[in-house]
Chain A
């Protein structure tokens, strides 16, 4: 063990919801974690470090969206050596991160609770450019009518076959989406349970290809819209940070938390297709 005092203990845990938008959707999970480590340093947030020869900051991630997929609902937890106002952490961390990695919500985490347990399902939005909505609608219907749809994915351990159908709680064509004048485009919304092995939107798309020969001419634009506990009656996902907000009744109303999602979220949550290139 190295000389010197033991690292300062964790005094406060914060749960952070952040978005991965525009061109920053091409960040991998490793890229995000490096960016966050640097941002907490720049922002002066007192993150705790592990003991040992190569101390690591206590920042943990749950169920990160794949590289190339945008998200409005990514989650991480920070262990701090001191107590900080979550609203302040939200603003400071957001300012220190590059535009496109945007902090939406920060709440204190009560001891003994697990965020991962609450992230039961994800809601995804998939834009398929060059695909006729009617064709997509029929493909979705065929997929949902099937009991099992075996798909293949290349994993690090080689090819793997698994069922992509059972995990899909809901999948439908988004009919509210405005039709572009020049090119057809279909938008799907799907609610997919978190299972093992994980079923991702591209697995569902592989399933659509299999049951209905749906082959989009260009890569799909995928955005995770939400993660949380799934209400099977309504098909809605609850905000997984709500129990934390309720557990810590903040003095003077809402000041103890920093629910900024409503303001931060761009109209239509089309983050995958909005290219946030600065002028």
Chain B
């Protein structure tokens, strides 16, 4: 059955919306494959605005991998802004892909990548605009299989009712495995309909199908049990780990948008996973073990990616980029290779370490040395022991002294507020640290125009981390501590003007906490918020705390639980957590022990350089640490 392009119906609406280019597609390296030639068709969604979603690495990688396969077609769709949504509803234009403007409901699968829980209302809006029933139970054989991935999918329970399936971990291999299952099932004439397809996916052990699991609750609201409700469905669903990054060098042909987006650069993941062991960091826990991409592949990807895109900036991505075993050679090699070509290199996510200043100097050889960012995360030494961020104040001062002495004028320091066991003094210690930083900068340079910006985020406990049992700090306490810190910074005229403070109110973090550690009952809240007009919860101008609170009160009125129960309540060791049946490889006992160690302010080393401490991931998942050095160097390009 031919599927028509919706563009002719969309076009008259484009003249009436803001930034119409975001709905038009036509990005360099995007592709449109023949509908009828494809046996399996994926719509890939990043549930945020195009300007945020387009650069997303996960979606770009899957898009390219799928479209490289014969008989497989993948197109992209993003959340539409309210002005466009209104016109689409008025004119009956459904959710569309930006590639060929095909209706999302016509695809076999809708894959949604959740980097954050704040995209949940946008999922509901897209399903509704697409004409796909919101609840998976109401879908028929005609509707796409709605499948979630991304870090938030490690606890998909709050959106379980809206999903047909969820996938944990690296997507490269499993997306093709799912495609094969769908292809076979379609080729056989769709035996058993939607349920059999989901059963085939679930029985593999690598795809979580929520409706095949029943959740029962205790009278006090805690979960009693999560159990499969039919034979052939595994008790636990495991995450996926790609074990050779060099054999998956994507994106090779990055999408280059016409519209302006949040990241305008070619990004290469230089390794996956992190074993630094920061206890607040969900990404570090769920992406273990560390797997490096080799310096040779990185060099080839940068060369190819720049040629294919015309970008002028390269980002070397990872959770802690300076930890790559050959980062010095990579930095110098790339800086040499692209010297004089107006190509800039960036290294996000670096630790507090003087070595990183050397790297940053290498990356900015001919450019302006404007700002460097470091993340001590906790203001006091004690706090940093709790979160296992092993940075001493002396390390930090040494690092910033090197930075200011090398010509950097501004240092940004990133912290969290509301961490477990935190006291007012821990937060006020940030002010002392910032003053010492300015003092060190003035001494190192003899100048007064040294600046330091303190940026503070609210801590949200996340599933699959040692802090998954912790009580989230209530927003009033967070706000009070932040105000006290602001007053403390302002009090001192000698330093006050040199120190900037950026922070957010504590309330949005509570909603993020609700969605992060929620169970299936939270789905009713999400739906109520969407029905009340909630969209784009990651955007402060669209997010409404009051709406979330009001909807939660109504939706949970008949339940023994409320927002506080999900967020500011500490859990004990035996409580069944909503995500216990989802396996990130981390040994539950190890996580609990690490939580106890946090309370005792005991640190843990990085297993890359010290013996294994049995977090459980490698033996459970059959994986191992993959690090260099390879001893290879980057070769200069023959033609630049």
- Binding stretch for chain A, among B20-28, B55-63, B281-289, B463-471: B20-28
CB closest residue in chain A, given B344: A54
Interface residues on B, range: 35 or more
CB closest residue in chain A, given B261: A34
Say if the beta carbon of B480 comes within 8 Å of chain A. no
Interface residue ranges of A42-87 to B (CB < 8 Å): 42, 49, 53-55, 57, 67-68
Least CB distance, A153 to chain B, in whole angstroms:
16
B260 close to A41 (CB less than 8 A): no
Interface residue ranges of A95-122 to B (CB < 8 Å): 96, 98-100
Task: Digitize B379-408: 1 where CB-to-A-CB distance is under 8 Å, 0 elsewhere.
Answer: 000000000000000000000000000000
Say if the beta carbon of A278 comes within 8 Å of chain B. yes
Given contacts A3-B366, A30-B260, contact A275 B21 (CB under 8 A): no
Give Cα A213 to B366, complex, Å.
60
B24 close to A26 (CB less than 8 A): yes
Say if the beta carbon of A39 comes within 8 Å of chain B. yes
Residues of B within 8 A of A3 (CB): 366
Residues of A within 8 A of B15 (CB): 68, 219
A98 close to B311 (CB less than 8 A): no
Say if the beta carbon of A23 comes within 8 Å of chain B. yes
A38 close to B8 (CB less than 8 A): no
Residues of A within 8 A of B23 (CB): 26
Residues of A within 8 A of B101 (CB): 277
A27 close to B34 (CB less than 8 A): no
Say if the beta carbon of B532 comes within 8 Å of chain A. no
Residues of B within 8 A of A100 (CB): 26
Least CB distance, A206 to chain B, in whole angstroms:
15
Given contacts A38-B256, A278-B32, contact A23 B311 (CB under 8 A): no
Give Cα A80 to B560, complex, Å.
71
Given contacts A34-B260, A278-B32, contact A49 B12 (CB under 8 A): no
Say if the beta carbon of B493 comes within 8 Å of chain A. no
Residues of B within 8 A of A30 (CB): 260
Residues of A within 8 A of B12 (CB): 218-219
Residues of B within 8 A of A218 (CB): 12
Least CB distance, A253 to chain B, in whole angstroms:
32
Say if the beta carbon of A2 comes within 8 Å of chain B. yes
Residues of B within 8 A of A49 (CB): 342
A98 close to B28 (CB less than 8 A): yes
Least CB distance, B634 to chain A, in whole angstroms:
20
Say if the beta carbon of A37 comes within 8 Å of chain B. yes
Least CB distance, A124 to chain B, in whole angstroms:
16
Question: Of B26, B307, B308, B368, which contacts A98 at CB under 8 A?
Answer: B26
A99 close to B11 (CB less than 8 A): no
CB closest residue in chain A, given B21: A26
Residues of A within 8 A of B368 (CB): 2, 53-54
Given contacts A34-B260, A98-B27, A98-B258, contact A28 B21 (CB under 8 A): yes
Interface of B is mostly: loop
Say if the beta carbon of B219 comes within 8 Å of chain A. no
Residues of B within 8 A of A178 (CB): none
Say if the beta carbon of B312 comes within 8 Å of chain A. yes
Least CB distance, A105 to chain B, in whole angstroms:
22
B20 close to A68 (CB less than 8 A): yes
A34 close to B32 (CB less than 8 A): no
CB closest residue in chain B, given A26: B20
A279 close to B14 (CB less than 8 A): no
Interface residues on A, range: 35 or more
Say if the beta carbon of A31 comes within 8 Å of chain B. yes
Give Cα A251 to B499, complex, Å.
64
Say if the beta carbon of A167 comes within 8 Å of chain B. no
Residues of A within 8 A of B259 (CB): 31
Residues of B within 8 A of A35 (CB): 258
Say if the beta carbon of A4 comes within 8 Å of chain B. yes
Given contacts A275-B7, A277-B5, contact A27 B21 (CB under 8 A): yes
Residues of B within 8 A of A24 (CB): 24, 26, 258
Residues of A within 8 A of B340 (CB): 4
Say if the beta carbon of B309 comes within 8 Å of chain A. yes
Residues of A within 8 A of B306 (CB): 41
Interface residue ranges of B297-321 to A (CB < 8 Å): 306-312
Say if the beta carbon of B100 comes within 8 Å of chain A. yes
Residues of A within 8 A of B342 (CB): 49, 55, 57
Question: Of A68, A96, A99, which contacts B14 at CB under 8 A?
Answer: A68
B100 close to A277 (CB less than 8 A): yes
B312 close to A99 (CB less than 8 A): no
Interface residue ranges of B1-60 to A (CB < 8 Å): 5, 7-8, 11-12, 14-16, 19-21, 23-28, 32, 34
Give Cα A96 to B256, complex, Å.
12
B26 close to A38 (CB less than 8 A): no
Question: Of A2, A4, A23, A96, which contacts B7 at CB under 8 A?
Answer: A23
Residues of B within 8 A of A39 (CB): 310
Give Cα A38 to B257, complex, Å.
11
Residues of A within 8 A of B26 (CB): 23-24, 98-100
Residues of A within 8 A of B11 (CB): 23, 275
A279 close to B34 (CB less than 8 A): yes
CB closest residue in chain A, given B11: A275
A27 close to B258 (CB less than 8 A): yes
Show 23 A/B contacts (Cβ-Cβ < 8 Å), sorted by A: A2-B366, A2-B368, A3-B366, A4-B340, A23-B7, A24-B26, A27-B21, A27-B258, A30-B260, A34-B258, A38-B256, A38-B310, A40-B310, A41-B310, A53-B368, A54-B367, A98-B26, A98-B27, A98-B28, A98-B258, A99-B26, A219-B12, A275-B8
**Apart from A24-B258, A42-B308: 18 A-B pairs, beta carbons within 8 A:** A2-B366, A2-B367, A23-B11, A23-B26, A26-B14, A26-B21, A28-B21, A31-B21, A31-B258, A34-B264, A38-B256, A38-B312, A53-B367, A55-B342, A57-B342, A67-B20, A68-B14, A278-B32
The 4 closest A-B pairs by CB, nearest first: A38-B310, A219-B15, A53-B368, A42-B310
